[in-house]
């Protein structure tokens, strides 16, 4: 175990999996199809979250109900649920079709996962996707089947789908993998939601990657401990002893 790190929790799209704004564009396409007045930049800022709740958040804003993003999973407007589910269903069609054609790992992702395993660090993924999309990614890349990911957490595994910025997916991975001290957990991601999730969980380190589709100018405003260009630099960072 390196520097008493027992578990690394990775985001998927933009961190381990190439994105090229595919998630954002699928979200925006479904919103436009439905007639929701929202920009791609507004969606990009709130990536990494439960997509049904994201649509609820955006619909509420169009109705003048402005919710602080830090309270994303606290102040959910229940009146927007039915509309949001309709948008989500259309988004899911687009997203699954996208990943069946374009699902590729970010360069060095497999090697980083392998390094973690070889150095006694358990590996989990957490995602803003529900099970259907998460399964497409895992089936395509084979990381669970090949033993490189110990636990792939999706929104259907946590109560009420409470994803980021709530810390419950991290806690779910800790429970399953019997990691009892959150100060032995590091979080790696590329969105404000990732940073807030790690902060809310109390992780030892919250590491932002710059290669994702969300720029550092957006997620860098939120608490994080380290910045790397891409996930393939994580082994060097840990080996340097700077994750304290």
For strands 205-209 and 226-228, give the pairing. Answer: parallel
Cα distance between residue 184 and residue 204, in whole Å: 6
- Nearest 5°: the CA angle 167, 21, 165 is 10
Beta strands in the chain, from DSSP E residues, in sequence order? 7-10, 122-126, 151-153, 185-189, 205-209, 226-228
pLDDT of residue 244: 80
Q: 9 forms bridges with which residues in the sheet?
A: 124, 187
Do 76 and 53 contact (CB within 8 A), yes or no?
A: yes
pLDDT of residue 61: 87
Q: Whole-model pTM above 0.85?
A: yes
Tokens of 211: 């290669």
Do 124 and 151 contact (CB within 8 A), yes or no?
A: yes
Domains defined along the chain, listed by start: 2-19+105-239 (3.40.50.1000), 22-102 (no CATH)
pLDDT digits over 39-51, tens only?
Answer: 999 898 888 999 9
pLDDT of residue 213: 81
pLDDT of residue 68: 86
pLDDT of residue 185: 98
For strands 226-228 and 151-153, give the pairing. Answer: unpaired
The percent of residues above 90 in pLDDT, for the chain, comes to 82
Listed in sequence order, the residues at least 6 apart from 115 whose beta carbon sits closer than 8 Å to its beta carbon are 234, 235
pLDDT of residue 195: 97
Do 139 and 61 contact (CB within 8 A), yes or no?
A: no
pLDDT of residue 3: 57
The residue among 79, 46, 52 whose CA lies nearest residue 65 is 79
pLDDT of residue 191: 94
Cα distance between residue 199 and residue 241, in whole Å: 21
Cα distance between residue 170 and residue 6, in whole Å: 13
* Ranges of the chain with pLDDT below 50: 1
- Phi first, then psi: give them for residue 183, nearest 5 degrees: -75, 0
pLDDT of residue 69: 85
Do 184 and 5 contact (CB within 8 A), yes or no?
A: yes
């Amino acid at each position: 175990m390196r520097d008493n790190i027992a578990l690394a929790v990775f985001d998927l799209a933009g961190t381990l999996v190439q994105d090229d704004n595919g998630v954002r564009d699928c979200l925006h396409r479904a919103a436009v199809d439905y007639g929701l007045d929202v920009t791609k930049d507004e969606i990009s800022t709130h990536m990494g979250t439960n997509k049904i709740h994201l649509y609820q958040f955006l619909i509420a804003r169009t109705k003048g109900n402005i919710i602080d993003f830090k309270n994303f999973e606290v102040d959910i407007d229940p009146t927007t649920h039915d509309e949001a589910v309709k948008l989500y269903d259309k988004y899911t069609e687009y997203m699954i079709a996208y990943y069946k054609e374009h699902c590729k790992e970010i360069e060095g992702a497999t090697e980083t996962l392998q390094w973690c395993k070889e150095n006694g660090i358990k590996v989990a993924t957490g995602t803003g996707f529900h099970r259907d999309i998460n399964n497409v990614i895992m089936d395509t890349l084979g990381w669970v089947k090949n033993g490189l990911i110990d636990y792939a957490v999706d929104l259907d595994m946590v109560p009420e789908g409470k994803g980021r910025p709530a810390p419950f997916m991290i806690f779910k991975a800790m429970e399953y993998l019997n990691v009892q001290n959150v100060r032995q957990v590091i979080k790696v991601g590329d969105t404000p939601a990732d940073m807030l999730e790690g902060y809310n969980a109390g992780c030892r380190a919250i590491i932002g990657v710059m290669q994702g589709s969300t720029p550092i100018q957006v997620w860098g405003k939120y608490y994080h401990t380290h910045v790397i260009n891409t996930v393939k630099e994580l082994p060097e960072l840990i080996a340097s002893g700077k994750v304290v």
